[in-house]
Amino acid sequence: MKRLLLGLIPILALASCSQGNKFDLNVTVTGQPTGNMVYLQTLNEREFINVDSTEIKDNAFTFTGQLEQPDLYFIRIGQSEPIMLFLENSSIEVKANLDSIDKAVIKGSATQDLYKSYNTGLLPIQAKMDNLYAKADSLKMVNALTPSADKQLEIEYDAISSEQSAYTNKFIQDNPKSVASAFIAYRFLANRLEFPELEKLVLLFDASIAKSQYVVKLTEKVETMRKTAVGQPYVDFSLADTSGTQISLSSLVDGKTVVMIDFWASWCGPCRGENPSVVAMYAELKGKGFQIMGVSLDKTKEAWIKGIKEDGITYPQVSDLLYWQSAAAKLYAVSGIPHTVLIGKDGKIAAKNLRGDELKAKVLELLK
């Protein structure tokens, strides 16, 4: 059954702020912190970056600064999980219990309030998804997850996913001037929409938030997707295999072979779950004009090689071991894995992000 899959650092002037256009972030906590230091962080390419720090005194602390526009930040208190909030130039109060950090109460940020309203409206849809997962788990426990039952789960999943996408699209259309909408689009829709739909979505945003990191990233993604959309010629790249030898995609695309680029990583559970079917398909079709280039988003060579051996992968494997900074992944606008790209014998991109039976059916069609 399918599973739901989550740049620029916002400019934060902490040293000198005008008196009339700044934020005051006042936080009070209850519970015993695991340390006295508190960090204000942003998220850059899935890595937390410290932008300011202070100490807790009498269960309270304050951050003051100035923002060009609202943006997403995180408050990390000692070793606790971070508090996520949208900062903007206003007086913001946060009350948090360190034993239930996810229930922190945030007041004074209109952007945060809007984001909260989105999540509130999403709760009934999420409940349906949770029930579906519970149903799947129950079937697995009694060995009743038959092909027909799994197919029915897929149908129900697609229906709930479509409902979520429709709700999210309407929310964005109703709030095109909010950075919260841009964040929601980037986080929840960027990996689901194909090029035409994502391009239309980006055009909805008001010019006032054009410099938001999320609008910038979405715009960049649209331009990359435009170059690698279905029907476009493949874009070549070259990366090292496990022995350090460079292998180019063009060395496999020879006018007679259907080539699949398989973006994966040893740390990616869904990828490892897909690998058996990909390995089996390769074993069946490799002598019939089909080839695969695996592109790993691993961080270390050891983990990458271990994953290859454990999954019995024999098709060409390359990586620059740069995680989400992978040059090939950026080239093909990959923001979630597993991700596949099928290239026909004519050298044009024939399909993207197919899996399982749907993937094999398309490969067989292209081999005719």
Relative to beta strand 290-296, strand 317-318 is parallel
Helices (H) and strands (E) in the chain, counts: 9, 16
Query: Do the Cβ atoms of 108 and 92 come closer than 8 Å?
Result: yes
Rounded percentage of the chain residues whose pLDDT exceeds 70 = 95
pLDDT of residue 33: 81
Which domains can be identified in the chain, with CATH numbers? 23-108 (2.60.40.180), 112-228 (no CATH), 232-367 (3.40.30.10)
Task: For residue 340, list its beta bridge partners.
Answer: 262
The reply to whether the predicted model has a pTM over 0.75 is no
Where the chain has pLDDT below 70, the residues are: 1-20
Cα 341 from Cα 259, distance rounded (Å): 8
pLDDT of residue 11: 36
Instruction: Report helix, strand or coil for 283.
Output: helix
Q: Using one digit for the tens of pLDDT, what is the confidence trace for 76-89?
A: 998 888 999 999 99
pLDDT of residue 20: 53
